[in-house]
Each structure stands twice: as structure tokens, then as C-alpha cells.
């Protein structure tokens, strides 16, 4: 349900009109006070389709609403500000905030370029592909210390910042956190197991044939690009300060830093050694003799499972962004499916040879390529283990020692498993072991077993509209609502930035950078086959980057 409008209308730019940009465009339009005012997207069909759906409808875009590149928008916005036209003048309307939904490797350049504009920002995860770049973004966007008229230093946060860690914002996970940290439904947490089953064909689409198939020079892989919000989810439960509640005063307010981080993982399945002998020298599904028997046949995944059934959305539109336009041009449903399938197969036929330059291969996805002959290098099976010691007291002795001890969080362990060949697709599941019971969860249910009563109970999870449920269990809509509410509170004078950031977004830029850092530490532990001692590692990283973080 869309929220009632507030005095100042909120306008947003979406940079990148792919699947994530479309998800946020839909959520903002359907469920918030904000409006999508402009789009920057290099693919003409995607740009126009996004504009028709969320901005200009059947009319033509107005000046300042459609850009082929984010740099074009940046130049336009800087010119608009230089000319100092009043708000509301035709063709000179700016935006309050920006959604950055482009490919991962572009995030840091966009963030650093638009930081001086002092706009509210929501950036899709991951923030950047290296810890150094994450810290550069922090320095560009972090609260600044200024000297007031009385020569006192004060910290001023410029604008709202949010990161696409959607798991924090689903009603299911918000309730899960409340049960664990506030209600203490199973006592103190002793250990947590969390799994992301990526899905057998989903992994082949995105991480074998698609844009996220290669590790970069900085060492990022599928743990960062696919599962950084799972690591953030674990840190949100076990490391971040707990949510406040008027019914309890025994809630820790400090960050509980890990002690150690370890990881192991490998590319186990999608490599040449696993190629079926019957496939021979074939490198493309459309010319492979083993294609009819192969589970990972691109023909089966994209045509038989999707376009043949009249489905042209993700993942098919990632392969062919204009496939819906092709289908719409047909005279009837049967003709649409046939035309769409022909168009799809032409795209799947595209392949490269040993003579193709590596730069050309890396520059784009190859969705018809054999999964056993691809240039992928990211893990398809990885485990991360994080441990915590008993939380240290900040001040020894004194009148409040007993209360301090009650507030401290005890030692615990978390194990995360990212696995590719699964039936479920991104439907997370897990189990939490506590001093008073066990809690198990999947993407829809929560079950609590009590040691005291030796009985189990299923906790009712708030129901959502189907469209919201399909969007990361409501996480997309929850994140969009939280971000827009925070921007609304600031722009309409109800709250300061810090209060709105804490009250609505619930995650600071510092916290987002720190959870990314845990991913980079885990990847370092995996590559070097060693144990990372977090505090020493983190202090060294901050010292080398001269970044003041806790």
C-alpha cells in the first residue's frame, strides 16, 4: 500500500534500469511517498521501458528525466545547479536522492563522483569490490567534523545513506531478530548455522555464464557478489547493537566484534574436469551432442523452462533485454512464444573461440556457453566460520558492574554455507542454538523449541502481498520504504539526518563498511588457508587506509 504524501514531494534518480533498478523503481512507486523522476541507463530499450513504467508513462520524457549514461546526468545536474534555476521551473527540476543499481565494479566511481552533490544515496550491494574502495567511499560520505561559532567541534552527517542489504528489511527477518535479541526466545545465542542455497540453474546463470563469474584482482568472488548480505545478516544478528525495546533495559548497545574468521571453499563443479565425455569438444549448448541430457543446457533453462511458457522476465530478459518487445510485436500468444524463442536462440548461439581476446570474453556474459568450458573462477561451495569471545566490559568495577555484566553478550559461533547445486533458489534457512532452546527458520517460517517445556511452537510471520513476498521476502519493499521514510523525515524537517538514519534505515555507513570487511577477511582466510584474527586485521586495515572507524 502506498503511503500518504508529505508536504515536499520526493524525487529520485535510478542509475541502472536492470533487474535491481526495476525492483526499486517498482517498490518506490507502489509503496512509498517518493516518485522516480529520472533514469540513467545505457541500453535504450531498458531505459525506455523503465521510463514508461515508472516515470513518463505514454508521454515523452521531459528534460532531465532520461540519460544514456550516469555521467550525462551528472553533467546535466551540475549545469542545472550552476544556472541556479528555481525549483519547479520546467526542465530544471533536480532530485533528492539516487538509487545506484549498476554493475558492481562501477559503484565506487559513481559514489565518489556524486558525493559532492550531497544527495541521499541508496547503493545496491556490494558497496565496492575491494576494502580499499569501501574505505574510500566511507571517507567521501562519512559524517564530517566541523567547528561551530563557539569553537566547538561537532559532527554533522550530510545525507541518508543505505546499502542494498535487503535481508535486514524483510518482515520475517525483523521478527526473527526481535525473537532472538529482544525476547530472548532461546536465551543467549550459543551458535548459529545459516545457509544460502543459490539454486542449481541460478548459479549457472549468474556465476558461471553471467556478469559475476570471475574473481577480480582484489580477490572478490561469489561470497561478496552473492552472499555479502548473508554475512551482513549474521553480523546484524550477532555483532550489531540489538534493537531497542521499551519492555527491556537489558539490551546491549555496543558492537560485539568477532574474534576469528576462517573460510574454505572452491570451484568444485563448473570446470572442464567435470564435463560429460559425450559433450566432446563442444563449447556451446546449441551445438553440443550432450545437450538433451545436460541439466545445465541453456536451451532447457531459458527456452523450455521460461519463454516456452510465456515467461519473459528474469532471467530471460537478462539474456535478451528486448525480448518482451519482440513478444509484444506478435499477433497472438503462440506467435509471441515462437518469436521470443527464435530471438533467444540467436542470442544463445553467440560464443567465443581460443583466438578471442580475454578482454573481449570478460567484457560480457555468454549465456549459451557450456558451463564446463566457461571462464568462471568463483566458488560454487564455500563455508565461513566466525567466532566471538565473551564481550569485554567497557569500564571495570563501580556501581553498575552487575548491570554491565547482564548487558554483555557471551561467546558464540556462526557458520555460513553458500552452496550452488540446490533445489531451493535463494530461500535461506538456518538454525540457532541457545541456552534455553533451539530456533529454526527458512524464508517463510520460524519454529522455536523450548528445553523447559520440551515442546515446539511455530511463530506466525506477518503476511505480505504476493508482489512484496516475491521481492526477497519483502526485503526490497522494506528497504525502499525505510530509505524513503528517512529521506522524507529529513527533507520535510521531522528529524535530523542522524536520527532518521538510525530510526528508519537502522544501519550506518560505518556498519555497512564493517560487514563488507568481514567478507574480505573471510576471502583472505580462504585464499591463504589461515585464521584471521579480526581485531588485529581490522586495526591494520584502518591504519593503512588512515580511516577512523570503530
Q: What is the pLDDT of residue 441?
A: 97
Rounded to an integer, the average pLDDT of 131-137 is 95
Rounded to an integer, the average pLDDT of 467-490 is 91
End-to-end CA distance of the chain: 39
Rounded to an integer, the average pLDDT of 272-289 is 97
- Non-local (6+) Cβ contacts of 424 within 8 A are 197, 199
Across the chain, what does the average pLDDT equal? 91
Helix spans in 288-363 (H): 298, 316-319, 323-328, 333-348, 358-362
Burial class, 124, CB count within 10 angstroms (exposed 0-12 / middle 13-18 / buried 19+): buried
Domain 166-269+377-545 in CATH 3.90.1150.10:
no
Rounded to an integer, the average pLDDT of 201-206 is 98
Residue 486 has pLDDT above 70, yes or no: yes
Q: What is the pLDDT of residue 151?
A: 62
Residue 525 has pLDDT above 70, yes or no: yes
Task: Tell me 243's DSSP state.
Answer: P
Q: What is the 3-state secondary structure (H, E, C) of 296-308?
A: CCHHHHHHHCCHH
Residue 246 has pLDDT above 50, yes or no: no
Q: What is the pLDDT of residue 250?
A: 46
Q: Is the pTM of this model over 0.85?
A: yes
Pairwise CA distance, residues 310 & 60, whole Å: 29
b/e code 31-69 from CB counts within 10 Å (16+ = b): bbbbbbbbbbbeeebbbbbbbeebbbeeeebeebbbbee
Secondary structure element (H or E) that encloses residue 242, with its range: none
DSSP-assigned states of every residue in 1-67: -PPPP-SSPEEEEEE--SHHHHHHHHHHHHHSSEEEEEEE-SSHHHHHHHHHHHTSTTSPPPTTSEE
Q: What is the pLDDT of residue 150?
A: 62
Share of the chain above pLDDT 90, in %: 79
Among the listed residues 162, 131, 260, the one whose alpha carbon sits nearest the alpha carbon of residue 542 = 131
* Region of residue 155 (phi > 0: left; psi between -120 and 50: alpha; otherwise: beta): beta
Pairwise CA distance, residues 153 & 385, whole Å: 41
Indicate the length of the chain as a whole number: 550
Residue 252 has pLDDT above 60, yes or no: no
Q: What is the pLDDT of residue 85?
A: 61
Residue 93 has pLDDT above 90, yes or no: no
Q: What's CA 307's distance to the chain center, in Å?
A: 27
- Contact by Cβ (8 Å): 333, 360: no
Task: Tell me 206's DSSP state.
Answer: I
Residue 95 has pLDDT above 60, yes or no: yes
Q: What is the pLDDT of residue 6?
A: 61
Q: Of the ranges 9-13, 101-105, 148-152, 439-443, which one carries the lowest mean pLDDT score?
A: 148-152
Question: Any idea where the domains of the chain sit in the sequence?
Answer: 166-269+377-545, 272-362
Q: How far is CA 525 from CA 80, 391, 442, in A?
A: 48, 23, 28
Residue 436 has pLDDT above 90, yes or no: yes
DSSP 3-state assignment of 333? helix
Burial class, 280, CB count within 10 angstroms (exposed 0-12 / middle 13-18 / buried 19+): exposed
Residue 4 has pLDDT above 90, yes or no: no
Rounded to an integer, the average pLDDT of 382-394 is 89
pLDDT tens profile 328-361: 888 888 899 999 999 999 999 999 999 999 999 9
Residue 275 has pLDDT above 80, yes or no: yes
pLDDT tens profile 117-127: 999 999 999 99
Rounded to an integer, the average pLDDT of 64-79 is 97
Residue 423 has pLDDT above 90, yes or no: yes
Q: What is the pLDDT of residue 549?
A: 76
Amino acid at each position: 500500500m502506498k503511503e500518504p504524501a508529505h508536504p515536499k514531494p520526493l524525487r529520485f534518480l535510478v542509475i541502472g534500469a536492470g533487474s535491481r533498478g526495476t525492483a526499486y523503481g517498482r517498490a518506490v512507486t507502489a509503496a512509498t511517498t517518493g516518485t522516480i523522476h529520472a533514469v540513467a541507463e545505457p541500453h535504450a530499450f531498458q531505459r525506455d521501458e523503465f521510463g514508461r513504467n515508472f516515470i513518463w508513462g505514454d508521454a515523452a520524457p521531459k528534460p532531465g528525466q532520461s540519460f544514456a549514461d550516469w555521467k550525462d546526468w551528472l553533467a546535466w545536474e551540475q549545469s542545472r545547479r550552476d544556472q541556479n534555476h528555481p525549483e519547479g521551473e520546467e526542465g530544471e527540476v533536480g532530485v533528492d536522492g539516487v538509487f545506484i543499481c549498476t554493475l558492481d565494479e562501477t559503484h565506487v566511481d559513481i559514489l565518489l563522483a556524486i558525493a559532492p552533490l550531497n544527495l541521499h544515496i541508496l547503493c545496491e550491494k556490494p558497496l565496492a569490490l575491494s576494502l580499499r574502495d569501501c574505505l574510500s567511499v566511507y571517507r567521501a560520505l562519512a559524517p564530517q567534523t566541523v567547528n561551530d561559532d563557539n569553537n566547538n567541534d561537532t559532527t554533522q552527517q550530510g545525507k541518508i545513506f543505505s546499502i542494498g542489504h535487503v535481508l535486514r528489511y524483510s518482515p520475517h527477518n525483523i521478527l526473527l531478530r526481535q525473537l532472538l535479541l529482544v525476547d530472548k526466545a532461546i536465551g543467549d545465542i550459543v551458535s548459529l548455522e545459516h545457509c544460502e542455497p543459490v539454486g542449481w540453474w541460478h548459479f549457472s546463470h549468474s556465476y558461471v555464464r553471467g556478469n559475476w563469474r570471475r574473481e577480480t584482482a582484489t580477490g572478490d568472488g561469489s561470497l561478496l557478489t552473492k552472499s555479502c548480505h548473508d554475512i551482513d545478516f549474521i553480523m546484524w544478528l550477532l555483532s550489531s547493537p540489538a534493537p531497542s525495546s521499551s519492555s527491556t533495559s537489558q539490551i546491549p548497545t555496543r558492537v560485539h566484534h568477532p574474534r576469528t574468521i576462517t573460510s574454505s571453499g572452491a570451484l568444485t563443479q563448473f570446470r572442464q574436469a567435470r564435463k560429460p565425455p559425450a559433450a566432446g569438444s563442444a563449447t556451446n549448448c546449441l551445438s553440443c551432442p550432450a545437450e538433451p541430457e545436460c541439466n545445465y543446457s541453456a536451451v532447457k533453462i531459458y527456452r523450455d523452462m521460461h519463454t516456452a511458457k510465456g515467461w519473459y522476465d528474469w532471467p530471460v530478459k537478462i539474456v535478451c533485454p528486448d525480448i518482451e518487445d519482440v513478444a509484444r510485436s506478435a499477433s497472438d500468444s503462440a506467435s509471441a512464444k515462437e518469436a521470443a524463442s527464435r530471438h533467444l536462440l540467436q542470442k544463445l548461439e553467440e560464443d567465443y573461440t581460443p583466438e578471442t581476446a580475454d578482454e573481449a570474453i570478460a567484457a560480457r556474459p555468454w549465456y549459451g556457453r557450456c558451463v564446463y568450458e566457461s571462464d568462471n573462477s568463483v566458488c560454487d561451495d564455500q563455508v565461513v566460520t566466525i567466532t566471538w569471545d565473551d564481550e569485554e566490559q567497557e569500564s571495570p568495577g563501580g556501581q553498575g558492574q552487575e548491570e554491565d555484566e547482564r548487558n554483555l553478550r557471551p561467546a558464540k559461533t556462526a557458520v555460513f554455507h553458500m552452496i550452488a547445486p540446490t533445489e531451493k533458489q535463494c530461500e535461506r534457512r538456518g538454525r540457532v542454538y541457545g541456552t534455553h532452546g533451539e530456533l529454526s527458520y527458512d524464508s517463510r517460517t520460524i519454529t522455536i523449541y523450548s528445553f523447559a517445556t520440551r515442546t515446539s511452537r511455530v511463530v506466525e510471520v506477518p503476511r505480505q502481498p504476493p508482489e512484496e513476498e516475491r521481492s526477497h521476502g519483502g526485503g526490497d519493499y522494506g528497504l525502499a520504504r525505510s530509505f524513503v521514510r528517512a529521506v522524507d523525515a529529513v527533507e520535510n524537517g521531522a528529524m535530523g539526518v542522524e536520527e532518521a538514519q538510525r530510526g528508519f534505515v537502522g544501519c550506518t555507513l560505518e556498519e555497512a563498511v564493517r560487514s563488507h570487511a568481514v567478507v574480505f577477511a573471510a576471502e583472505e582466510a580462504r585464499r591463504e588457508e589461515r585464521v584471521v584474527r579480526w581485531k588485529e586485521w581490522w586495526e591494520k586495515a584502518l591504519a593503512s587506509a588512515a580511516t577512523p572507524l570503530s
